[in-house]
Amino acid sequence: MYGIDHYIGGVFSAGSGTRSGPVFNPSTGEEIYRCHYANRETVDAVAKVAVAAGRAWARQSHARRLQVIFKMRELVIGQTEALAKIIGLEHGKTIDDAKGEIGRAIEALEFATNAPQVTKGEYSINVGGGIDTFSIRQPVGVVGCIAPFNFPVMVPIMMGSMAVAVGNSVIVKPSERVPGATAFVSDLWKQAGLPDGVWNVVNGDAEVVDALLEHPSVPAISFVGSTRVGEYIYQKGCAHNKRVAAYTGGKNHMVVMPDADLEAAATAFVSAGYGSASQRCMAISLLVAVGDQTADRLRALIVPMVEKLRVGSYDDKTADFGPVVTAAAKATVETAIQRAVDEGAELVVDGRNAGAGLNGFYVGASLVDNVTADMQMWKEEIFGPVRGIMRVASLDDAIELVNAHEYGNGAVIFTRNGRSAQRFYMDVEAGMQGVNVPVPVPVGYHNFGGLRRSKFGDAHMFGPDAARFYTKMKTISQRWPEPDAEQERALSLAFPSND
């Protein structure tokens, strides 16, 4: 059984660490290989490599850097099938779902080709006294990218592509559950012509995260993952004077008004709620029906669709979604289902036995009705295929419910009334919202990110703001006086004026 190595300076290496962890195929429950874990010495070694490589890369022209980005896009497109199989093997998501993830990674690479445009500075002529003032953006240096298990290709590429395009070097710490995909991506960057040391990967757990957060040569950290970890990373990173962008948990509500196209809303809820075994931060978690009649009609439409959803191996073309990522995740989801029942909710569809006869970490599609705001089913993010129905009396009640939750990642409304839609997106405190759109993930040239405890830090690592996160601003004031100008030699202790 072989191990997944780190990628340091263009070479795969086991590093100096002695620890490793298992990587499972969630579809079968089998351990497929080991992942070598880095120690602090390995992180220090890769940081030195990244610093040296980044200095040279930052001096390259925009044209040179974009040649690599364009080539990387071509390679990812050409290797979509291979990447999808690796994602499916380690994560469990179906091949079609994995290809959708890769498509968004390609979109991120395409947007990164705009780096020269989105990093242009400003120039003001003769602001006073013959002085011109201008601003420039330069790379921050070495960027630490801490990625989650649920998007092992999309997130590292979305983080890394703009960081590389504007002249940084990167150190990626993928989830130790899905290290193979990032290793494959590393080889693609090398084929694309990225100089050795600009893209690096260190595998591991909390020890690696702490080493990156504390390392003086890593001034910026990007993170996608759970709220608990994201808050820790944000607080510790800031304590070490780093800029941090952390995207964390979500509990995304889908409000359905009585005037909505209920058949379209029901289909949207099932599609947006159960894909990828609901292991998405932007998955719809709860359907909030305005009025009992609306709820009853939606339930009648949704239940048959949920009952037909089929679980299966990542390479099973008949499966609607695959397993959850680990045995522990399966146990957590099943516990959440039982707790909802114990707290008084109605279990309408029970998917806990859907994987009977299969050896992997399967949980079938489950649906719970009559969820209330005092239940854990509403309070916690459940990373598994159990979704809920809530009932409220009015749009005001729906908005109040959404805003009462600690998370503000995404929220959507289904309605035919423009005024209801406008009230919703103006009053709801969620960073990404949809109107008759079930998964409001913006395209790559718009900013991605939630509000409240779904995001820590003001910066965005995706979209146009990514260029600002991965660069530092300098403002220069310059004057070129006439030769032998007498006023240049006159002593003045007064605060400079703009006259």
Q: To 10 degrees, what angle do helices 62-78 and 179-191 make?
A: 130
Higher pLDDT, 487 or 350: 350
Percent of the chain with pLDDT over 70: 97
Q: What is the spatial distance between Cα 496 and Cα 220, in angstroms, rounded to a whole number?
A: 35
| 132-146, 368-382, 437-451, 472-486: least confident range | 437-451
- Tell me which DSSP letter residue 464 carries: T
Give the model confidence (pLDDT) of 71-84 as tens digits: 999 999 999 999 99
Rounded to an integer, the average pLDDT of 422-434 is 91
Amino acid at 365: A
Q: Give the pLDDT score at 488.
A: 59
Give the model confidence (pLDDT) of 231-257 as tens digits: 999 999 999 999 999 998 889 999 999
Backbone angles phi, psi at 420, to 5 degrees: -60, -45
pLDDT at 93 over 70: yes
CB environment 4-18: b (16+ within 10 A), e (fewer): bbbbbbbeebbbebe
Specify the pTM.
0.91
Query: Which secondary-structure segment (H or E) carries 265?
Result: helix 262-274
Cβ(46)–Cβ(200) below 8 Å: yes
| 282-296, 395-409, 449-463, 480-494: least confident range | 480-494
- Annotated catalytic residues are 281
Q: What is the spatial distance between Cα 413 and Cα 249, in angstroms, rounded to a whole number?
A: 20
> Angle 31-282-315 (CA atoms, 0-180°, nearest 5)?
35
Q: pLDDT class for 315, splitting at 50, 70, 90?
A: very high
Q: pLDDT class for 460, splitting at 50, 70, 90?
A: confident
- Long-range own/partner contacts, residues 268-275 (CB < 8 A, 24 or more apart): 268/414, 268/438, 269/298, 269/302, 269/387, 269/438, 270/302, 270/305, 270/306, 270/309, 271/438, 272/438, 272/439, 273/385, 273/387, 274/306, 274/309, 274/320, 274/321, 274/365, 274/385, 274/387, 275/97, 275/321
Q: Give the pLDDT score at 484.
A: 66
Amino acid at 449: G
pLDDT at 490 over 70: no
Q: pLDDT class for 495, splitting at 50, 70, 90?
A: low
